[in-house]
Homo-oligomer: A and B are copies of this chain.
């Protein structure tokens, strides 16, 4: 039973009607060409209207659609080959994070990303795509390996957050996120981060420090989930839609803020309605951005990456007259 959002319903109904009519025409052999074209035009218009008007909360829900491609799906869609590598060489192999060497246009790249499951069984193995510290340590190990072999790094980000569990805390969840962020910042290879679905706070940023940060159209990226924000603000998780509005977490907002570099447009209706089309889109964006940053000398690459983040922040210098308060 596929998930159909309430805003998709008129569209789905219209599409069904068109299909019925088409079947009828085919069976009866009568000429309904004009009427069908009219209907198709109407459907196109409706699609455009619906997806242009999506609220931030609706886009959050798009990002979470159960049929949306997962990281391993994207890897299959985008790359020619993939050799998965396992383990942090310290404690474990976190299945909530996948990584390995993939081939893009004949060139090896290192690809890393959190991995959600498709069903309950898979989700238990993948811990619902919520990484433990060893998942981040695996990511870091593979990134350092990529640097040794001058392979570009592609991170595919779709994660609600780092796992908030007892053992995860015990083994240094906060510390490992900090280490990932710090060390990723100085890696002397091109890094492209693509937020494909959910970009949940520090758990996403831990693998989100790159030379290009791209975002799928209906992905979200925020310091806090809309649900948790609503709980803090109004003690009411049901007001998540309002919180999503406040947080400015859509690709449109983040492009405007200069936090991301580009928005990968999804096929109309979203990635879950057209996996292949989405894969092709990502691949095209990836190629373009990668070929651009491959041209940058390594030392400049790191300098630009640091400057990029150095500039982020919105504040004012206090007028001196105001500061003469005795502390």
Contacts and interface: CB of A to CB of B under 8 A. Distances in A.
Interface of A: 89-91, 137, 171-172, 175
Query: How many copies of this chain does one complex carry?
Result: 2
Contacts of A91: 90-91, 171
Contacts of A89: 172, 175
Contacts of A172: 89-90
Instruction: Among A90, A91, A137, A171, find the residue whose CB has the most chain B CB atoms closer than 10 A.
Output: A90
Nearest to A87: B172
A119 B189 CA distance: 53
Contacts of A90: 90-91, 137, 171-172
Given A89-B175, A90-B172, 7 more contacts: A89-B172, A90-B90, A90-B91, A90-B137, A90-B171, A91-B91, A91-B171
Nearest to A90: B90
A137 B137 CA distance: 15
9 contacts: A89-B172, A89-B175, A90-B90, A90-B91, A90-B137, A90-B171, A90-B172, A91-B91, A91-B171
Instruction: Among A91, A137, A171, find the residue whose CB has the most chain B CB atoms closer than 10 A.
Output: A91
